Every structure is written in structure tokens, then in C-alpha cells.
Amino acid sequence: MWPNRNTNNPTLTEAAEWLAGEFRQIPTLQVELMKYRIEKGPRVPVAKEVVQVVATLPGSTERRVIVGGHLDTINMVDRENLNASAPGANDDASGVALTLELARIMAQRKWNQTLVFVAFSGEEQGLLGSAALAKRAKAENWKIDGVLSNDMVGNSRNLNGQSDNRQVRVFSEESETHSGRELARFIHWLNRESGNKFGVKLVFRRDRFGRGGDHTPFNREGFTAVRVVEVHEEYSRQHTANDLPEAMDFEYLANCARVNLRTMASLAQAAYPPSEVLIDRKQGHDTTVTWKGDLGGRYMLYWRDTASPVWQFSREVEGSAATVEKVNKDDHVFAVGAIGGIPVEAK
């Protein structure tokens, strides 16, 4: 019988220590077993101090890009039994494996931004670990460019006869307080422009119905975060003894990792985003966008039909203004971003 990694159990601590050991084999990483407290509640019989793994690759700036999955598992069938089997191969060892692999790859060179690789715990008790890290990030005034939460990225078919190994879903919500939606749109654009045949399917929702993920506590604190998750979930395996490696599609997981890697590498090198991105409101057949940024800096100008959910066109521009001929502002949305950074919508 497979054990579990229930956050209430010593098995979670053992798993976290093992994973920290894996991260420590990467010489440039700073590895921390982050302690936080979980309080008594529906899925926490006894309040206690628990750990999660936070591995940091220092960059030349204070800005951070975070990627993560959750290390903990739960058995919801035999829920009173804290020793019930819960292998959690897909939910969410897939996200943790992806995170470790990205650390191995990204650590091979230096980046502008500081990269943070996280294996959350307490996810199955109500996003407790991600909430603890998001609160800490806020308290310590972290400058986070984006958070990629990978939760179930290793399964390409369900037992209902449906399969899709050609794309992965990215969930995001529209908000005034954070830019999750713009990060999602950027991931789609980046992936499409790279010519990747493996696609990104945007879902314009916070998460699936009645479900949650570790991106949400970050969004709540005002940071920019999205959830990455497979297209066809098999619900009978989730939170049971049946979430086993045998059901995994490792090629699919590798493709999901590539989407994350491309995004992280892009954000990790981007200059500061422009500010005061504005559309010139004078009447005309052309559209002029202005912004404030680095003198002589290079930027990417994006536009799309107002009814298109994704960026349709883009062009590299210089300076602090650009005009797109014969594209009318009245029926298009425009944005400007640093090269490789999340676009800022023009108002």
C-alpha cells in the first residue's frame, strides 16, 4: 500500500525533507523548509507547526517569478483515517516534479529575476501553505512578477473515454487588483509565437466549480497568479488510493513543463513593465499608443479585436509611442509590454 503525504502526518515532513535534499543537489539554490502553523479545523484534527519547501535561485533583481505544485495528498474516501493510502501521483506529485525539473534547468544559468520553486503543503486542508507564503510575501514586500501554480498536470485521459494530450488549461480571473488574466493571455501568446504544437487552453475562471488551488491566495494578496491544470481530469482517482503512477502520461507532463519553462524564462529576463500606457483618443483611422518607460527601451505592442480573448497581433517597438495604421482603437484592445514581460493594457 502506498503511504500518504497528509499535512497532518510526519509523512509530509519526511517527503518535504526528501524533496529539500533533491533541491540541495542543485548548488546555486537556497533551500528552505518553511515553517508555518495550521489551526484546528475540519481537516486539521490538531493544530501544529508544519513545513513546505521553498527553493530560491537569486537573480540580479529583487523581482521574483514563482513556480510551484503541492506536495501534500489526502484520502477523502477514508477521511477519518490519517494513515489511509494517498499516493497523489498526479495530485500533485506531477506539479512538484515539474517544479523540481524547472529548478534543475533554470539553475544552469543566471537570470535577471529571482526564481522561486515551491512545493506547497496544506493545500488539501484549504490552501494553507500557499496562504502562508502569500502572506509572508506581502509582509516582506516581495515584488512578484508572476506565480505559476501547477496542480494536476500529468494526466491526459479520463475513464469516460475522453483524452487530450495536445493542450493544457490555464485558469485566470479578471480583476482590478491583480493581473492573473493578463499573465494567462501572455502565456498563450508566448506559447503560440514559439510555434509549439502543444497548446494552451485559456479558461476565464478563477478555478473549476467547487474547487480551489494555490494560485488564489496569491491573487487575494494582490499578486499575479494562474493555475495550470490538465484538460481531462479523472475524478475517481483524485483524493483516493488510486492516484497512481501507472495512470500518468509522462510525455504530457513534460509538455506542460515546457510551457512553464518558456513562460518562466521569458519573465525571468524581462525589463520593467511600462507605465501610463495610454491610447490617444483623438478621432482617426490609425491608433497611437503612448507609454512611459526606459529611455530607448524596446517594447512589444499587442492588439486584438475586443471580442478576441487572445492577442492576435504584436510588433516590436522602441521609445515611448507607436502608431498602428488602419487599425481602429474603437474596436480593438491594445497593450504594451517589456520584451518578454506581461503586457499592460492601454487605457
Task: Give 229 or 324: the residue with its C-beta nearer to Zn ion.
Answer: 229
Stretch that binds Zn ion, among 9-17, 36-44, 147-155, 169-177 (CB under 5 A): 147-155
From residue 59, give the alpha-carbon distance in Å to each of 30, 107, 112, 309.
12, 10, 5, 33
Residue 173 binds Zn ion, judged by CB under 5 A: no
Minimum CB–partner distance for residue 260 and Zn ion (Å): 16
Task: Give 92 or 230: the residue with its C-beta nearer to Zn ion.
Answer: 92
Angle at 255 between CA 189 and CA 130, to 5 degrees: 80
Task: Give 74 or 187: the residue with its C-beta nearer to Zn ion.
Answer: 74
Stretch that binds Zn ion, among 88-96, 101-109, 130-138, 184-192 (CB under 5 A): 88-96
Q: How many chain residues are in contact with Zn ion, going by CB under 5 A?
A: 3
Minimum CB–partner distance for residue 151 and Zn ion (Å): 4
Task: Give 145 or 243: the residue with its C-beta nearer to Zn ion.
Answer: 243
CB 247 within 8 A of CB 90: yes
Residue 72 binds Zn ion, judged by CB under 5 A: no
Task: Give 231 or 338: the residue with its C-beta nearer to Zn ion.
Answer: 231
Angle at 266 between CA 264 and CA 267, to 5 degrees: 65
Select from 151, 182, 207, 249 the one that contacts Zn ion (CB under 5 A): 151
Following DSSP, what letter does each residue of 64-129 receive, concatenated? EEEEEEE-----SSSTT-TTS----IIIIIHHHHHHHHHHHHHTTS--SSEEEEEEE-SGGGTSHH
CA distance 320 to 18: 50
Residues 202-231 that bind Zn ion (CB under 5 A): none
Q: Point out which residues bind Zn ion (CB under 5 A).
A: 91-92, 151
